[in-house]
Amino acid sequence: MTALALTLATVAALLHVLFFKLESLDWRKPATWKTFGMASQADADIAAPLAFNQGFYNLFLALGTFTGIIVVAASDTHDSIGWTLIVFACGSMLAAAVVLIASGGKPFARAASIQGLPALTAVVASLVAAG
Structure confidence by residue, pLDDT tens digits, 51-103: 999 999 999 999 999 999 999 999 876 679 999 999 999 999 999 999 999 99
The residues spanned by each domain of the chain are 2-20+53-130
- The predicted pLDDT at position 65 comes to 98
Which pTM does this prediction carry? Answer: 0.92
pLDDT tens track for 24-43: 999 999 999 999 999 999 99
What confidence score (pLDDT) does residue 131 get? 82
CB 90 within 8 A of CB 129: no
**Hey, CA dihedral for 68, 5, 62, 54, is it positive or negative?**
negative
Residue 43: name the closest of 55, 27, 26, 61 by CA.
Answer: 27
Tens of pLDDT, residues 103-115: 988 889 999 999 9
